[in-house]
C-alpha cells in the first residue's frame, strides 16, 4: 500500500514538471466569461465581450480618446467637415488603410459596411438609424464620392460632436472588406446576408488585430495585423480564455497562468487586494451603466411620482457601495452617468440618501400612510439578490411589503420588455458618453401605447411618458452650441430625479485585475485597448 501511495505521489511530481507557469512573452492572456459571445460581425454584436474585442479588430471611424473618453480622436477617418446648413457631413478616410491581407481599404468598403449594418437591421443598426438613415434612403444618404471620401446627407442639422460620439465612434462603423463580404454572402428567400455568416467567426477588417480562432465557450485568439496602418500592436497574440468561475480566474491570475482577469466577484477582489506580496493590480472603471429600480406606471400606486420618490430614500447608497457593491458600483441617482457629456457633477447627480422618515412622509403625502404590498422581480445573478433584500428590508420599515422573485436574466428581460412587472431591479448600459444616450431611451418615450411595443425604451417599459421631457430632450439633441446643450441636459436630469420612472442606485463599476508586469493596457468605459499593452 505504501508503495502505491509513493508511486502516485511520484507520478504527480513528475507531472508537475509538465505543468508550466507563466504566459508566453509575446501574448496577452485574458480570462473572461465568453458565454454571451455569438458573433464577431460588427453589424450584429450586441453584448459586452464582443464589443470589447471587436474594437481591437475593427477600428471605428473615430475613437474615444483613451485618456479622456469625452474627447473624440480620428480613427480610420482622418478629418471631417460639416456644411454651413449642417445637413451634409463629409468624412475623409486615411489613404493608407489596409486589410490584414495587405489589400487597400477604400471609401467604397466603408460605404458598403455602413449600408450592410442598416440593411441587416440588427439591434445596433440603431447606432446609425437613429440619425435619420434607413433601409429606404441609405443608398442616397451615405455615399462614397471617391476612394477616400464619404458624404452623409443628414435629415436634420445634428450637433457634430453628438454624431461623432454616438454614431461614428460606435463599433458599427468598422470597415469590412466589401469584396470578401459580397463573395461569401449567403442568399436566402432572395435576401442577402451581406456576409453575416462569413464574418461571424472571422471579420475581415481594418484594425490592429484579427480574429484567428474562436472555439465557442472555450477560447478566442487574436493575432496582430502587421498591415495595420497605425502603431502596430505590441503583443503578437491575444488569447482570451473562457473561465466562467471567479475563483478559478483568481487562482489562474495569482499563478501567472493568465495576465488579466476580467470577471472577478467582490470576495475574490478583496482577497486579491489583501494579498501583501501583490503581483496583481486592480483597476476599477466607472462604467456608463446602471443598476436601477424601475416601476410600472400602469400600477395605480407606483404610477404616483411621490411613491417613486419615496423609494429613492429607501436606499443606503454609500452603505451599499462599501459592502455588497464594493468593486461593483458607485452611487449615482441621476440618469446621466458621470463622465458623459452633459452629466451633472458628483454631488448634484446624487442628492439622495437613506431617509426612512422622508420616505414615510412622501408615502403619506401620496395617500398611502399604511404602506402597500408589491411584487419585485430581479435577476438571480451577481449582486442583485443582495441589493433587492436591502431595499426590501428598508421598505418593510415603512410598511411597504416587497415580495421578491428571482429569475434567469433572459426571463427578467422578457418580463421587463413586456411590461409584466410591478417593481424591477435591472441594469442598462449607455451606448456612448453623451447625455443623449441615456435620455433618449430612459426619459424620452415617443409613443406610450401598448401596441407601439417600444421595448427598447425603458421609459415605455415603465409606461411613463412626459410630453415636456420629450420636447426638452429633442431641443437639447439639436442644440449645436455645446454650452447650451450641457445646460439643457442638466435641467432634464434634475426633472427626472424628481418625477422619472426609475430609481437609479449605482453606476456600475468594472473591476479588472491584472498582473503588474502588464503595462499600458488601456481601460476606458467604452474601449479596452489590448492593442497598446506590453509586458
- Judged by the rule CB under 8 A, the positions of this chain that interact with another protein are 12-13, 15-16, 18-21, 23-24, 27, 29, 31, 35-36, 38-39, 46-47, 121-126, 200, 213, 215-219, 221, 239, 241-245, 247-248, 251-252, 254-255, 257-258, 407-411, 413-417, 428, 441, 453-456
3-class SS of residue 215: strand
The least distance separating another protein from the CB of residue 181, rounded to whole angstroms, comes to: 17
> Cell digits for 460?
415605455
- Count the helices and strands in the chain (H runs, E runs): 19, 21
The least distance separating another protein from the CB of residue 295, rounded to whole angstroms, comes to: 18
Cα–Cα distance for residue pair 106/97, rounded to 1 Å: 7
The least distance separating another protein from the CB of residue 19, rounded to whole angstroms, comes to: 5
3-class SS of residue 78: strand
The least distance separating another protein from the CB of residue 242, rounded to whole angstroms, comes to: 6
Q: Which residues contact 350 (CB under 8 A, 6 or more apart)?
A: 317, 331, 332, 333, 334
The least distance separating another protein from the CB of residue 113, rounded to whole angstroms, comes to: 18
The least distance separating another protein from the CB of residue 23, rounded to whole angstroms, comes to: 6
Closest to another protein by CB, 24 or 482: 24
Selection from 20, 531, 529 nearest residue 237 by Cα: 531
> Cell digits for 230?
497605425
Closest to another protein by CB, 321 or 416: 416
The least distance separating another protein from the CB of residue 20, rounded to whole angstroms, comes to: 6
Closest to another protein by CB, 100 or 458: 458
Selection from 171, 170, 150, 173 nearest residue 162 by Cα: 170
Selection from 215, 212, 239 nearest residue 226 by Cα: 212
Closest to another protein by CB, 374 or 442: 442
- Is residue 290 within 8 Å of 508, Cβ to Cβ? yes
In eight-state DSSP terms, residue 340 is S
The least distance separating another protein from the CB of residue 356, rounded to whole angstroms, comes to: 33
Closest to another protein by CB, 194 or 352: 194
Q: Which residues contact 277 (CB under 8 A, 6 or more apart)?
A: none
- Is residue 45 within 8 Å of 51, Cβ to Cβ? yes
Closest to another protein by CB, 99 or 428: 428
- Is residue 430 within 8 Å of 337, Cβ to Cβ? yes
Q: If you search the block for the grid coordinates 474562436, which residue do you land on?
A: 214
Selection from 504, 490, 489 nearest residue 458 by Cα: 504
Cα–Cα distance for residue pair 312/334, rounded to 1 Å: 11
Cα–Cα distance for residue pair 58/207, rounded to 1 Å: 5
Closest to another protein by CB, 97 or 118: 118
Rounded to a whole number, what is the largest CA-CA distance in the chain?
90
Question: CB neighbours (10 Å) of residue 281?
Answer: 14
Closest to another protein by CB, 16 or 300: 16
- Is residue 313 within 8 Å of 358, Cβ to Cβ? yes
Closest to another protein by CB, 125 or 496: 125
The least distance separating another protein from the CB of residue 470, rounded to whole angstroms, comes to: 17
| Alpha-carbon torsion angle 42, 48, 52, 57, nearest 10 | -20
Helix (H) or strand (E) holding 376: strand 373-379
> Cell digits for 242?
473562457
The least distance separating another protein from the CB of residue 33, rounded to whole angstroms, comes to: 10
The least distance separating another protein from the CB of residue 66, rounded to whole angstroms, comes to: 25
Closest to another protein by CB, 250 or 477: 250
Closest to another protein by CB, 9 or 73: 9
> Cell digits for 40?
464577431
Amino acid at each position: 500500500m505504501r508503495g502505491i501511495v509513493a508511486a502516485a505521489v511520484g507520478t504527480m511530481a513528475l507531472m508537475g514538471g509538465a505543468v508550466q507557469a507563466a504566459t508566453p512573452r509575446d501574448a496577452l492572456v485574458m480570462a473572461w466569461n465568453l458565454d454571451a459571445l455569438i458573433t464577431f460581425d460588427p453589424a450584429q454584436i450586441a453584448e459586452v465581450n464582443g464589443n470589447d474585442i471587436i474594437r481591437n479588430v475593427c477600428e471605428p471611424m473615430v475613437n474615444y480618446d483613451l485618456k479622456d473618453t469625452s474627447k473624440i480622436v480620428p480613427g480610420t477617418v482622418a478629418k471631417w467637415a460639416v456644411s454651413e446648413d449642417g445637413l451634409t457631413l463629409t468624412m475623409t478616410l486615411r489613404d493608407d488603410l489596409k486589410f490584414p491581407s495587405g489589400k487597400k481599404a477604400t471609401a467604397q468598403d466603408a460605404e458598403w459596411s455602413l449600408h450592410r449594418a442598416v440593411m441587416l437591421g440588427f439591434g445596433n443598426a440603431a447606432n446609425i438609424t437613429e440619425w435619420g438613415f434607413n433601409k429606404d434612403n441609405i443608398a442616397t444618404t451615405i455615399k462614397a464620392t471617391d476612394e477616400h471620401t464619404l458624404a452623409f446627407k443628414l435629415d436634420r442639422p445634428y450637433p457634430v460632436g453628438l454624431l461623432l460620439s454616438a454614431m461614428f465612434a460606435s463599433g458599427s462603423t468598422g470597415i469590412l472588406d466589401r469584396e470578401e463580404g459580397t463573395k461569401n454572402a449567403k442568399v436566402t428567400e432572395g435576401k442577402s446576408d451581406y456576409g453575416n455568416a462569413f464574418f461571424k467567426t472571422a471579420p475581415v477588417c481594418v484594425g490592429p488585430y484579427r480574429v484567428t480562432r474562436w472555439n465557442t465557450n472555450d477560447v478566442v485568439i487574436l493575432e496582430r495585423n502587421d498591415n495595420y496602418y497605425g502603431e502596430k500592436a505590441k503583443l503578437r497574440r491575444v488569447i482570451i480564455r473562457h473561465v466562467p468561475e471567479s475563483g478559478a480566474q483568481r487562482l489562474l491570475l495569482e499563478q501567472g497562468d493568465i495576465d488579466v482577469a476580467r470577471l472577478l466577484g467582490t470576495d475574490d477582489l478583496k482577497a486579491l487586494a489583501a494579498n501583501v506580496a501583490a503581483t496583481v493590480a486592480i483597476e476599477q472603471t466607472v462604467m456608463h451603466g446602471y443598476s436601477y429600480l424601475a416601476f410600472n406606471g400602469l400600477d395605480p400606486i407606483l404610477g404616483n411620482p411621490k411613491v417613486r420618490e419615496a423609494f429613492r430614500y429607501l436606499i443606503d447608497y454609500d452603505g451599499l457601495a462599501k459592502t455588497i457593491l464594493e468593486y461593483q458600483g458607485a452611487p449615482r441617482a441621476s440618469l446621466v452617468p458621470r463622465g458623459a457629456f452633459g452629466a451633472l457633477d458628483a454631488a448634484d447627480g446624487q442628492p439622495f440618501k437613506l431617509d426612512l422618515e422622508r420616505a414615510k412622509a412622501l408615502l403619506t403625502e401620496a395617500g398611502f400612510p399604511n404602506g402597500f404590498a408589491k411584487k419585485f422581480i430581479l435577476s438571480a445573478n451577481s449582486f442583485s439578490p443582495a441589493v433587492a433584500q436591502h431595499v426590501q428590508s428598508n421598505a418593510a420599515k415603512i410598511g411597504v411589503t416587497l415580495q421578491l422573485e428571482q429569475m434567469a436574466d433572459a426571463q427578467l428581460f422578457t418580463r421587463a420588455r413586456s411590461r409584466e412587472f410591478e417593481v424591477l431591479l435591472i441594469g442598462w448600459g449607455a451606448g456612448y458618453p453623451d447625455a443623449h444616450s441615456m435620455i433618449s431611451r430612459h426619459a424620452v418615450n415617443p409613443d406610450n401605447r401598448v401596441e407601439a411595443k417600444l421595448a427598447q425604451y425603458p421609459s415605455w417599459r415603465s409606461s411613463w411618458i412626459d410630453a415636456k421631457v420629450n420636447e426638452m430632450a429633442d431641443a437639447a439633441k439639436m442644440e449645436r452650441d455645446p454650452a447650451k446643450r450641457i445646460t439643457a441636459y442638466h435641467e432634464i436630469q434634475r426633472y427626472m430625479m424628481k418625477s422619472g420612472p426609475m430609481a437609479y442606485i449605482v453606476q456600475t463599476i468594472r473591476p479588472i485585475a491584472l498582473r503588474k508586469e502588464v503595462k499600458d493596457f488601456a481601460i476606458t468605459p467604452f474601449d479596452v485597448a489590448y492593442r497598446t499593452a506590453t509586458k
